[in-house]
Amino acid sequence: MSTNQSIKPITTVVNERGNLEIGGCDLVKLAETYGTPLYVIDNVTLRSICREYKEAFASYRKVQMMYASKALCTLATSAIIASEGFGFDVVSAGEIYTVYKAGVDMSKVLFNGNNKSFDELALALDLDVGRISVDNFFELSLLNEIALSKNKNVDILLRITPGIECHTHEYIQTGHLDSKFGFDLTQIDDAVELIKNEYTNLKIHGLHAHIGSQIFETSIYGDEVEILVKEIARLEQKYNIKLDEINIGGGLGVKYVETDCPPEPKDIASIVIQRLNSAIEKYNIELPTVFIEPGRSIISTSGVTLYSIGSSKQVPYGTKYVAVDGGMADNARPSMYQAEYTAQIVNKPNIKDALQKVTIAGRFCESGDILIKNIELPNPEEGDILCVFNTGAYNYSMASNYNRVQKPAMVLVNNSQSDIIVNRETLEDLISHDVIPNGLS
């Protein structure tokens, strides 16, 4: 089984004390030591999926694995992923700065996004980010202007909308025609002409697309590759230029609940490689370098969140709510996308009797702050530690301070050792940016 087809980190076991353990660390002990809510990242699971991806694509000679930082961007996780040979897809000054500070080779970084600011593009140029994926006409002109002022040449890709519909949540579909991301196929020629004739500090290397997220289909990756190769071949001919890079984005799904059946990296790899080889022959182009940039499927499974159970409420003839000490501020996905999760009680993972159907409520002041609806748990009580699985992606990265609650800490577990990789926010952190103007009374 592939790592992204597991709900739990691959090192998850029940130990001799009867507690859940990840990376050799007893989760009850972790909760005691570091407090809750607590994000936990398993080093072995993270490295295992990175290696799976690399092996899956190894038979194609020119491939560069990238990691989409927006799924989770911290110094430690960036350093781990970089050490597995990955480059990085970044979408803000904050992500650029984080990977830079983590020691990432900046030539392997791609800056992507539909509304990059002047300052962000300037920072990218100052830190020698390897590629900029230009999203629209406004950005082409802005970037050229910045490049001119810094007397630099900039290596770019064009982000395109390939016109592929995938079956995922509407908010995480990006490749369909009426999308806010990228150039429409009918606009690329104008963009290339502008680059050739006017924006001479920009050098185009290829095309970039991303069709969506939490994708369970494999065939659409084949269709996407075909479109990218076809367009490259057409542009090379028409404009007498060399385009030798295609970036197919990310999007592979993970298994949040038992009914989710995502394909594995090698399923996507075999479709992509097969379609690439036939398209290269059909359109008669040289072997391009292919970039794949998964986010969720790299980091999701290695992460879990630990919560302490507090109050409970049985609505007469209705739902039993069990409340935890976190919720929508540390995991926005259930309230934003109706996302589903699997959980277990860490200190009694194996108990099969006394099962109760409950709804896990967050502690935030919104009725919609529900983490899991209708889950069966063995007599959940105050003081129990709840482990929600598959929270590595789009949890911490979307976390907020709603209700003026401090963001949780994050620990890395490996070989029975645990290390803090993000400190828990303090009350002082919360007010550290606040200012009371003089003379306010």
Nearest residue (CB) to ligand PLP, 28 versus 393: 393
Q: How far is the CB of 328 from ligand PLP (least distance, A)?
A: 20
CB 280 within 8 A of CB 45: no
Could you identify the residue written with the tokens 């002409």? 193
Task: For 222-243, give one letter per residue: b (16+ CB within 10 A) or e.
Answer: bbbbbbbbebbbebbeeeeeeb
- Is 336 buried (19+), middle (13-18) or exposed (0-12) by CB count in 10 A? middle
Chain contacts with ligand PLP (rule: CB under 6 A): 68, 70-71, 89, 112, 210, 213, 249-252, 293-297
Nearest residue (CB) to ligand PLP, 174 versus 344: 174
What angle is formed at CA 330 by the lines to CA 326 and CA 332, rounded to 5 degrees? Answer: 110
Nearest residue (CB) to ligand PLP, 42 versus 89: 89
Measured between alpha carbons, how far is 111 from 92 in angstroms, rounded to an integer?
8
Nearest residue (CB) to ligand PLP, 217 versus 369: 217
Q: How far is the CB of 387 from ligand PLP (least distance, A)?
A: 22
Measured between alpha carbons, how far is 208 from 324 in angstroms, rounded to an integer?
41
Could you identify the residue written with the tokens 């996302």? 339
Of 124, 44, 111, the C-alpha closest to 84 is 44
Measured between alpha carbons, how far is 209 from 201 in angstroms, rounded to an integer?
23
Q: How far is the CB of 427 from ligand PLP (least distance, A)?
A: 33
Marked catalytic residue, from 50, 73, 261, 365: 365
Q: How far is the CB of 292 from ligand PLP (least distance, A)?
A: 9
CA distances from 222 to 219, 227, 264, 279 (A): 5, 9, 15, 10
Nearest residue (CB) to ligand PLP, 30 versus 271: 271
Whether 365 is catalytic: yes
Q: How far is the CB of 333 from ligand PLP (least distance, A)?
A: 12
Measured between alpha carbons, how far is 42 from 430 in angstroms, rounded to an integer?
28
Nearest residue (CB) to ligand PLP, 39 versus 394: 394
Q: Strands 154-161 and 202-208, how do they pair?
A: parallel
Q: How far is the CB of 88 from ligand PLP (least distance, A)?
A: 11
CB 271 within 8 A of CB 232: no
Give the catalytic positions in this structure. 365
